[in-house]
Each structure stands twice: as structure tokens, then as C-alpha cells.
Amino acid sequence: MESLVVLLLHPMDTYLEQELDRRCRLLRFCWDSPPDRRQGFLRTHSTSIRAVVTSGGSGADAALIDALPRLEIVACYSVGVDRVDLDRCRERGVRVTNTPDVLTDDVADLAVGLAIAVLRRIPQADRYVRDGQWKAKADYALTTRFSGKRVGIIGLGRIGLAIAKRVEAFGCPVSYNQRTKQAYPNYTYSPTAIELAANSDVLVVACSLNEQSRGIVSREVIEALGPRGVLVNIGRGAHVDEHELVSALVDGRLGGAGLDVFEDEPEVPEALLALHNVVLAPHMGSGTRETRRAMADLVLGNLEAHVLKKPLLSPVV
């Protein structure tokens, strides 16, 4: 695919960048220049760029797609494609790929890790030892058990199912909410997120972001989860009404939260930083060396398949 001109929107992964450089004609999207240089850059290269490589955070909006008349494929280095204008891609006949499956285990591991970290207060316990409080004071305050807790999952897709499988091993009964009821013998379906929250000790958000799931964790859902409930979000920040979440945590109307994603990343609401019932992570669900390599290989494999006119490995559009 030496002749394929690929626009890489921002630095994502060193290996991916090196391989794109080696295998294609790679253009970096003015990474170190002021944003106003980008329009000129696009005008200069618009008739040569045939592929865009983007991330879940950046996506590809209609303005970018429209600025590239020869664009054939948007390869997303994430499974979530909520920031790619899929309708515009369909209209334009632009293919879209993502990186499903290869990241499922790591994201599910993190979801379980966050739930345990919140309930067992692992980060706070670490600080207790480091700060010398264990020696100075006494044993650490008692925490809350994770094993056996009722786990509700919004979105029992690839990642949601992997979470369910893991928490079953902890003796946790699993319920779920999504648009389609499935015939899972071990998992109970809840028709609404509110009902799911009311019957859960730990509520995990693992659905994709779309118009119906935006804000799905509303004030009502948070109230239903209640002062002993824990919210874990490894989906997208926009799934949760963050303002309501923060005020419920501050007021003690919600027991705790483990959050990998936020509404306005990398901004995190200041109030969360002071709370002891919250564990925060910097959108690192898929962030292991093993998975990021596999994601990069999938991006490269999709581009290669496209050039060779073979079936795409993980098509979205």
C-alpha cells in the first residue's frame, strides 16, 4: 500500500505511526502547528489523501470528511466510533473501520478493577501506607466487600459480556439493560436503566454512545442506585449526567464511583479530585502494550485489506 496517502490526525501509538510511515505515504496533521494551519494543510493535500487514521476521541466530523474529496476510508484506532460522522461517510461512500474484540478483555479487567478499587478503597489504602499513617495511627478503616454484590451492566455487548463473565466468578448476580433483550440464561434483563440501577449494588456502563444512550445515567438512575451504590463508567463520559453525578457523590446520595471516562476529557470536574469515594482513571481501558499493539495491527490490516480490495477486517460502514 505504498501509494496510499494516509492522514494521521494526532500521535496515537509509536508502533502504528512507524508502520504507517513504512507501509504508506503518511501525512501528520500539523501536530505541532497552530490549528489555523490545518485548513491550508488540508487544501494542499485534499486531492491526495485517501485514508484517515483517527482515534475514538478525535473521530472524523463532516467538515473533515467534506474537505477530503478523495477520501475512501476512515480507520478508527478504537472500538467506539461515536465521533465519526457515520451518516456522512455512508452518503459519501467512505468506509469506516474500528478495533473491536482485541480490547475487550483489558477494558473488562479495568471495569472490575475499578469496582473493587472503589469498594475496597485500594488507592486510599496505598496512600495510607505511603504517608506513614499505618504506623502513626492504626489499622485502616473497614471497607466494603465486592464478592457477591449485584452487578448491573448497561450494554451487554462484547465488553459488557466480558465483565459479566468476570464478576460471575466473584459470585455476583448479573442483570443488564440494553435495547435488545437476549436469551442469556444467567443474566436478568431490565427494560430500563432506572430499574436496573434500583436492583444493583454496582452499576457498570459498557454500552456504545448513541442518541438513546447519551445521558442514560440520569439523575433518576443515580438516585435509584443510591447512597450505597457504586457507578463504574468505562463507556463514554457523555453516558453520564456528570453534573448530577458529582453533586450526588458530594452529597452522599451515591455511594461511590470508578470512572475511566469523562464528559470533557482530559478535564475532570474539580470536585471529584477531593472525594474519597471515587477512583479516577485517565481513559486507559484499552491501554496495555498488548492491546494497543493489536489495535494498531487491526488498523493496519483494515487499510491493507482496503487497498487490496479484500473484505475489511472490522467494518463499521
> Does 92 participate in catalysis according to the annotation?
no
Q: According to the binding rule CB under 6 A, does residue 210 interact with ligand NAP?
A: yes
Task: Choose, from 50, 121, 166, 236, the residue flagged as catalytic.
Answer: 236
Q: Applying CB under 6 A, which of residues 236, 256, 272, 303 lies at the interface with ligand NAP?
A: 236
Least distance between ligand NAP and beta carbon 207 (Å): 3
Q: Which is nearer to ligand NAP, 155 or 256 (CB)?
A: 155
**124 counts as binding ligand NAP under rule CB under 6 A:** no
# residues near ligand NAP by CB under 6 A: 32
Contact code string over 73-92 relative to ligand NAP, x by CB under 6 A: ------xx------------
- CB of residue 37 to ligand NAP, shortest distance in Å: 30
Nearer to ligand NAP, 221 or 261 (CB): 261
* Residue 153 in the binding site for ligand NAP (CB under 6 A): no
User: Is 265 noted as a catalytic residue in this protein?
Assistant: yes
Any contact of residue 268 with ligand NAP (CB under 6 A)? no
Residue 203 CB, nearest approach to ligand NAP (Å):
12
What are the backbone angles phi and psi of residue 39, rounded to the nearest 5°?
-60, -45
Asked whether position 209 contacts ligand NAP by CB under 6 A, the answer is: yes
The residue (of 59 and 160) whose beta carbon lies closer to ligand NAP is 160
Provide CB contacts within 8 A for 14, sequence distance 6+: none
Active site residue 283: yes
Q: Which residues bind ligand NAP (CB under 6 A)?
A: 79-80, 100, 103, 107, 154-160, 177-180, 206-210, 212-213, 216, 234-236, 260-261, 283, 285-286
